[in-house]
Amino acid sequence: MDASDLLNDLVSKANARGADAADAVLVSSRSLELVQRLSTPERVERAESQHLGLRVLIGKRQAIASSNDWAEISLNDLVDRALSMARAVPEDPYCGLADADELAKGNPLDLELCDGNEPTAEELVERAKTCEEAALEVAGISNSEGADASWSRSNVTLAASNGFLGCYTISRHGIGVAVLAGEGSAMERDYEFTSAVFAADMKDAAEIGRIAGERTVRRLNPRKVPTSKVSVVYDPRVSAGLVGHLASAINGAAIARGTSFLKDAMSKMVFSRDITIVDDPHRMRGLRSKPFDAEGLSNTAMKLVDAGKLMSWVLDLRSARQLGLSSIGRASRGTSSPPSPTTTNLYLEAGKVSPQEIMADIKSGFYVTELMGFGINNITGDYSRGAAGFWIENGEITYPVSEMTIAGNLTEMFLNMTPANDLVFRFGTDAPTVRVDGMTVAGA
């Protein structure tokens, strides 16, 4: 029995045994990962998994049960367990499937989400070997924490009693390495990686290694600087975190609970006019692309922030109903949890000037390449993170600094953000180099 037939049969059983509505999701995955250190393979792992989740609704009560056993007796037990739980839980006035007229219709878009070429273990060994060797060849590198190469492919199928049935497959290739420079207590570490849906879209393995090595050596002999209020420039490796903080603050569930510092900000200017932030589930070969959301709704690219103005919350059906709005097709779910609102390919649009130009007038500032900890208060917007990177003097990146803390409030930080023009899609949530003025930096 294929995935579609299996899920439709499961949903029919749930309805026949007393469910008013039901949906089911099946995720089957295959993966291969190779980890090596100093030219010696340490781990080769091949994994295959199939997980199925059934959600049943009785009135305004819902419950979810999951299983990886497809035997008939096990699936019957799964239905019975889900129904038993649904009868016992409190009512949720906002739960429920989509109406039939809300569902995505027609053939799913071809978003080029699956690379048909599955690498062999030998190919992954060669990718990791090439990457690590290139990193170790950089002058000043003294040791390696290891290199890894990976591949995965996942099939997602969703079926529901409202008539929806859809599936898609997504693949992922990755290469990464972390190395060390220096000796004894004066050692520094850094890394680089690449990830893409298609292997051909990844950076060259040797280039990844070289970049990791060069970054690590640049961090040697870091200093501390006195506490001061300066401009902070976020490298693209960490600037995406700022966009992620916005996503958390405008998540429909947080807005419905009133636990966001942006709960009253709809249609207001929360950034400067230079800032536009887009969520695009249909980005070709996007790391988080999907042809429909986890509730079977259509999803399209939209500007969550347009020229500084907040345009939409991130909504699934439940949060939209709670707020008296309509879903924007951003539901996500696992096999053991209900749908929840989540962004897809989220990015801050590139600005008009280069990273060098946005730093040119900074007499003293902090160029951040690494962030540590998670001191973010989503209710107040207070922001405090451990950080490392380089000090800026007279518009130029100079010496490395570490064991620093940067602090501010996201409400003010958002209004004082300036994006550079170097946007590259690498993570699923992406941003170019970003400058934020007026932050407190604490060191020595």
Using the 3D structure, point to which of 156, 183, 217 is the last residue of a domain. 217
State the pLDDT confidence band at 184, using cuts at 50, 70 and 90.
confident
User: Within this chain, do residues 282 and 429 fall inside the same structural domain, yes or no?
Assistant: yes
Pairing of strands 228-234, 364-376: parallel
Pairing of strands 382-393, 396-409: antiparallel
Q: pLDDT per residue over 57-87, tens digit each?
A: 999 999 999 999 989 999 999 999 999 999 9
User: Within this chain, do residues 147 and 161 fall inside the same structural domain, yes or no?
Assistant: yes
Q: pLDDT per residue over 297-353, tens digit each?
A: 999 999 999 999 999 999 999 999 999 999 999 999 999 999 999 999 999 999 999
User: Within this chain, do residues 149 and 231 fall inside the same structural domain, yes or no?
Assistant: no
User: Within this chain, do residues 286 and 168 fall inside the same structural domain, yes or no?
Assistant: no
Q: pLDDT per residue over 258-312, tens digit each?
A: 999 999 999 999 999 999 999 999 999 999 999 999 999 999 999 999 999 999 9
Q: pLDDT per residue over 113-147, tens digit each?
A: 999 999 999 999 999 999 999 999 999 999 999 99
User: Within this chain, do residues 335 and 305 fall inside the same structural domain, yes or no?
Assistant: yes
State the pLDDT confidence band at 234, using cuts at 50, 70 and 90.
very high
Given this model, what pLDDT does residue 105 score? 87
Q: Which of 5, 29, 9, 6 is nearest to 17 (CA)?
A: 9
Tokens of 292: 């429909």
Q: pLDDT per residue over 207-222, tens digit each?
A: 999 999 999 999 999 9
Query: Which CATH number does the domain housing residue 191 bear?
Result: 3.30.2290.10
Tokens of 64: 């979810």
Given this model, what pLDDT does residue 239 score? 98
User: Within this chain, do residues 206 and 264 fall inside the same structural domain, yes or no?
Assistant: no
Given this model, what pLDDT does residue 409 score? 97
Using the 3D structure, point to which of 182, 217, 252 is the last residue of a domain. 217
User: What is the pLDDT of the chain when averaged over all its residues?
Assistant: 96
State the pLDDT confidence band at 88, using cuts at 50, 70 and 90.
very high
User: Within this chain, do residues 20 and 152 fall inside the same structural domain, yes or no?
Assistant: yes
Residue 418 buriedness (CB in 10 A; 0-12 / 13-18 / 19+): buried
Could you write out the DSSP letters of every residue in 377-396?
Answer: -TTT-EEEEEEEEEEEETTE
User: Within this chain, do residues 60 and 193 fall inside the same structural domain, yes or no?
Assistant: yes
User: Within this chain, do residues 335 and 400 fall inside the same structural domain, yes or no?
Assistant: yes
Given this model, what pLDDT does residue 444 score? 58
User: Within this chain, do residues 32 and 94 fall inside the same structural domain, yes or no?
Assistant: yes
**Residue 162 sits in which domain range?**
3-217
User: Within this chain, do residues 269 and 295 fall inside the same structural domain, yes or no?
Assistant: yes
User: Within this chain, do residues 278 and 361 fall inside the same structural domain, yes or no?
Assistant: yes
Could you write out the DSSP letters of every residue in 181-240?
Answer: ESSGGG-EEEEEEEEESSGGGSPPHHHHHHHHHHHHHHTSS-B----EEEEEEE-HHHHH
Tally of structural domains, the chain: 2
- For 59-186, strand residue ranges (E) read 61-67, 141-160, 165-181
Q: pLDDT per residue over 341-391, tens digit each?
A: 999 999 999 999 999 999 999 999 999 999 998 889 999 999 999 999 999
Using the 3D structure, point to which of 217, 233, 263 is the last residue of a domain. 217
Above pLDDT 90, what percent of the chain? 95
Do residues 273 and 98 touch, judged by C-beta distance below 8 A? no
Check whether 433 has a pLDDT greater than 70: yes
Q: Give the mean model confidence (pLDDT) for residues 235-255.
A: 97
Instruction: Supply angle C-alpha 125, 130, 132, rounded to 5.
Output: 95
